[in-house]
């Protein structure tokens, strides 16, 4: 899987349609988490593609919330994205926004980590360290079960995502915490430049 979009081009495209720092943070985080998963799951050669798909997955959400995942193809095509990348982006709205099913393992990972990175980020903010580096799966599970906590992060989608991958929730949480630990500093550095 290859994309001709370089990271700086993809980031410029994301910023063209997203002004909220939180949305840039979310894109950068999901992108880096996807890159980590590519390496971990044996798709190292495709890690640029995995990252760009993560970075751009919510490109249309800020300006076109009602058309989330249906406006994205137009914005991405204009920006020079390949159809494969567009499919990946759209598939994270499967069953909720669009009928584009996650097929490739990359797409299933994107579907599973999108909401979960949000939950981990919100849980990290509550910690004295403000970091996920000292977060254990057990404490994340408590936040997962507490439906009032970060209510916007859909537990249903996270659970469906794990199921699509054929993983139990524990494995998904453990790996995603590891991914977020490894990219936390890098994402924070990139946010300073935003
Ligand atoms: Fe997202």
99-130 residue pLDDT tens: 999 999 999 999 999 999 999 999 999 999 99
Expressed in angstroms and rounded, the spacing between residue 36 Cα and the centre of ligand 1 is: 17
Q: Are 45 and 69 in contact (CB under 8 A)?
A: no
User: 163: which residues sit within 8 A by CB, 6+ positions away?
Assistant: none
Expressed in angstroms and rounded, the spacing between residue 134 Cα and the centre of ligand 1 is: 24
> Cβ–Cβ contacts within 10 Å for residue 82, how many?
17
Q: What is the pLDDT of residues 137-147, one digit of tens each?
A: 999 999 999 99
Structure tokens at 174: 């453990």
**pLDDT score of 111:** 98
Expressed in angstroms and rounded, the spacing between residue 66 Cα and the centre of ligand 1 is: 15
Expressed in angstroms and rounded, the spacing between residue 161 Cα and the centre of ligand 1 is: 13
Expressed in angstroms and rounded, the spacing between residue 136 Cα and the centre of ligand 1 is: 23
Q: What is the secondary structure of 138-187 as a DSSP string?
A: HHHHHHHH-TTTTTTS-HHHHHHHHHHHT--HHHHHHHHHHHHHHHHHHH
Expressed in angstroms and rounded, the spacing between residue 117 Cα and the centre of ligand 1 is: 9
Band (pLDDT 50/70/90 cuts) for residue 82 is very high
**pLDDT score of 96:** 87
Expressed in angstroms and rounded, the spacing between residue 73 Cα and the centre of ligand 1 is: 16
Expressed in angstroms and rounded, the spacing between residue 70 Cα and the centre of ligand 1 is: 14
Residue with tokens 């490894």: 182
Q: Is the pLDDT of residue 194 over 90?
A: no
Expressed in angstroms and rounded, the spacing between residue 111 Cα and the centre of ligand 1 is: 9
* Every domain of the chain and the residues it spans: 7-186
Expressed in angstroms and rounded, the spacing between residue 89 Cα and the centre of ligand 1 is: 10
Q: Are 59 and 92 in contact (CB under 8 A)?
A: no
């Amino acid at each position: 899987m290859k994309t001709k979009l370089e990271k700086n081009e993809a980031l410029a495209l994301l910023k063209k349609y997203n002004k909220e720092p939180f949305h840039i943070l979310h894109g950068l985080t999901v992108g880096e988490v996807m890159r980590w998963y590519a390496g971990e799951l044996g798709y190292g050669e495709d890690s640029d593609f995995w990252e760009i798909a993560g970075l751009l997955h919510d490109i249309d959400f800020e300006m076109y919330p009602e058309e989330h995942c249906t406006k994205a193809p137009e914005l991405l095509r204009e920006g020079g994205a390949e159809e494969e990348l567009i499919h990946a982006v759209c598939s994270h709205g499967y069953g909720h926004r669009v009928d584009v099913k996650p097929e490739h393992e990359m797409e299933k990972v994107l579907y599973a980590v999108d909401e979960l990175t949000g939950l981990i980020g919100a849980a990290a903010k509550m910690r004295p360290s403000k970091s996920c580096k000292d977060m254990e799966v057990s404490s994340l599970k408590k936040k997962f079960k507490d439906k009032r906590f970060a209510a916007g992060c859909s537990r249903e989608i996270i659970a469906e995502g794990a199921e699509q991958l054929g993983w139990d929730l524990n494995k998904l949480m453990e790996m995603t915490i590891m991914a977020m630990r490894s990219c936390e500093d890098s994402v924070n550095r990139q946010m300073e430049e935003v």
